[in-house]
Amino acid sequence: MADITTALQVCNLGLSYLKIPAVDSITVLTAPSKEVKEVCAQWYDLSRQEALRAHPWNFAKARAQLAIHTSDPDFGYENQYVLPTDFSRLRFIGSNNYGLVGLDYDIEGAYLLYDGGDETTLNVGYIKDEEDVSLFDPLFVTYLALIFAKNICYGVTGKTTLRRDIREMLLETGNQARAINGQDKPPRRVTKSNVLGARRKFAGGSSQVTDPKYISF
């Protein structure tokens, strides 16, 4: 596969799965139309955001120090923090990258509601809405092209059987892309139950104080 560095190339790759000729541009959607160019314009950004939210892709990982909002939530939480404008999916809260298991938080609109952190800021890791196609992993490009093809298939071909075929290809490609993405940087820690962690800790008679929830590789 030649290097894919633009949204237009991703769209044309998706069109190739549908056996539709490539387009020479993606126009801004101005009016309802069945023209392929305008369908591409209508669905590309939505397809990219759908693909990015589906998995914590390494190329789209980012970190930020969120600023506290001047007004508090009406109830339930003491603080709310302003999410980044390119926010897509939350990965972890705090500085240790332990994930989100066991944390009490909520996302409402453009805000993260959480009682931890200090008075003014909160460290988080997140998946961003990455728009630079040149940064996409090759497997993600194929995955995104198939999502795009799935989303526009019926609108431009009217063929439900072809859409089913695309969905089957998407499942296989998605599994492969997720697996390789995970192998590139395995998790540093595995979350274990408190009971099993405590059993391992005290069975050997150790008095060392450790967190039984996390066992390092």
Per residue in 132-167, pLDDT (tens digit) is 999 999 999 999 999 999 999 998 998 999 999 999
Q: Which of 85, 108, 128 marks a domain boundary?
A: 128
Residue 49 is predicted with a pLDDT of 98
Residues 177 and 216 in one domain: no
Are residues 174 and 195 both part of a single domain?
Answer: no
Is the pLDDT at 189 greater than 80, yes or no? no
Query: pLDDT digit string (tens) for 90-110?
Result: 999 998 888 899 899 999 999
Instruction: Tell me the pLDDT tens digit for each residue of 33-83.
Output: 568 888 999 999 999 999 999 999 999 999 999 999 988 899 999 999 999
Percent of the chain scored above 90 by pLDDT? 63
Same domain, 21 and 38: yes
| 66 and 116 together in one domain | yes
Residue 2 maps to a domain: no
- How many structural domains is the chain composed of? 3
Average pLDDT along the chain: 85
d(CA 171, CA 83) in angstroms, rounded, equals 31
Position 44 in a domain: yes
Report pLDDT for 214.
45
Residues 180 and 192 in one domain: no
| 142 shares its domain with 41 | yes
Residue reference for tokens 């075929």: 165
Confidence of residue 201 (pLDDT cuts 50, 70, 90): very low
- Count other Cβ atoms within 10 Å, centred on residue 128: 19
Instruction: Evaluate if residue 88 carries a pLDDT over 80.
Output: yes
Would you say residue 1 lies in a domain? no
Q: Taking the CA atoms of the chain, what radius of gyration do you get in angstroms?
A: 22
Whether residue 86 is predicted with pLDDT greater than 70 in this model: the reply is yes
Q: Is residue 14 part of a domain?
A: yes
Residues 71 and 105 in one domain: yes
Q: Domain range holding 110?
A: 61-128
Question: Looking at the structure, do residues 180 and 206 belong to the same domain, yes or no?
Answer: no
Q: Do 77 and 122 fall within a single domain? A: yes
pLDDT at 213: 47
Please report whether residue 106 resides in a domain: yes
Last residue of a domain, one of 128, 150, 169: 128
